[in-house]
Amino acid sequence: MMGVHFLDARGPEGVRLYAVGDIHGHLDLLAEMHARIAAEIARDRPPDWRIIHLGDLVDRGPDSKGVIEFLIAAVARDNRNIVLAGNHDQGFLDFLDYPDPAGLFARNGGPETAWSYGVALRMADALGLHQTHAALVRAVPDSHRRFLRRLPAAITFGDFFFCHAGIRPQVPLDEQDPRDLLWIRGEFLNYPALHPKVIVHGHTPQAEAEVMPNRVNVDTGAFHSGILTALVVDEAEKRLISVEVPRVSGRR
């Protein structure tokens, strides 16, 4: 099977792409990244552009509610803002449907997400969980739930395929299991051969963005590093940009 190498990959003619890594409730970093991108677009005036957010909007950081509101407004303002689903976004929806105290949301930033909606989750006892889950369900606007439910799992532009976690190797891109697109790690990360397109993803935080022949990982662990990273593709040109806000999640 023929594949595309990162060095040879090209974006669509006349369209600049920005692929933004996992946000995890850090509205300050997201706003700073959008300001950086807006300044570049105003300066360079590309014929067209897309900003692709690779999922994991919520959990761990202090303002998941604000992140969702920011992106709802961005998409409404200009549909060239694209938001993909992440496993933590799905976990939030799952918890709203059924409050599992041992699930992804509860164990990985759920209390911080709930607090951004003004709810202090109590999960040590069944009654506390029942009461605070009910309060969270009331606090989360229907517009937020609709937005998260409608997020696509993947999108492609030119020689690049964008998703949250990665793909199942040797499975056609249009036949990928949505769960793999949100959750896969080892089989994808360790696969050495080229894919039909270069896969741009997040999900697995690294100290620095990973640029491999067959994939690019732009998750630089914003929730603990304070650094949000994006891949920029402008036809044949590829580069990375990052923004940093001091004093987020233990950084300085």
Identity of the amino acid at 73? A
The pLDDT of residue 166: 98
Q: What digits encode the pLDDT tens for the residues 9-59? A: 999 999 999 999 999 999 999 999 999 999 999 999 999 999 999 999 999
Q: What percent of the chain has pLDDT over 70?
A: 97
11: nearest Cα among 38, 46, 56: 46
Is 175 part of a structural domain of the chain?
yes
- Report d(CA 54, CA 86) in Å as an integer: 7
In the 8-state DSSP scheme, what is residue 195? Answer: P
- Report d(CA 58, CA 68) in Å as an integer: 8
Residue 181 CA to its chain's centroid (Å):
12
Q: How confident is the model at residue 252 (pLDDT cuts 50, 70, 90)?
A: very low
Is 3 part of a structural domain of the chain?
no
Q: How confident is the model at residue 1 (pLDDT cuts 50, 70, 90)?
A: low
**Residue 127 belongs to domain spanning:** 15-244
Average pLDDT over residues 175-186: 98
The vertex-212 CA angle with 191 and 249, nearest 5°, equals 100
Is 150 part of a structural domain of the chain?
yes
Q: Output the six-digit token pair for 145.
A: 């739930």
Is 118 part of a structural domain of the chain?
yes
Q: Are 167 and 161 in contact (CB under 8 A)?
A: yes
- How many domains are contained in the chain? 1
The pLDDT of residue 246: 72
Q: Output the six-digit token pair for 175.
A: 């036949």
The pLDDT of residue 247: 57
99: pLDDT strictly greater than 60:
yes
Is 2 part of a structural domain of the chain?
no
Is 220 part of a structural domain of the chain?
yes
Q: For the chain, percent helix, then strand, then coil, each to nearest 5?
A: 35, 20, 45
Is 9 part of a structural domain of the chain?
no
Q: Are 22 and 113 in contact (CB under 8 A)?
A: no
Q: How confident is the model at residue 250 (pLDDT cuts 50, 70, 90)?
A: very low
Is 133 part of a structural domain of the chain?
yes
210: pLDDT strictly greater than 90:
yes
Identify the CATH number of the domain in which residue 208 sits: 3.60.21.10
- Report d(CA 167, CA 203) in Å as an integer: 12
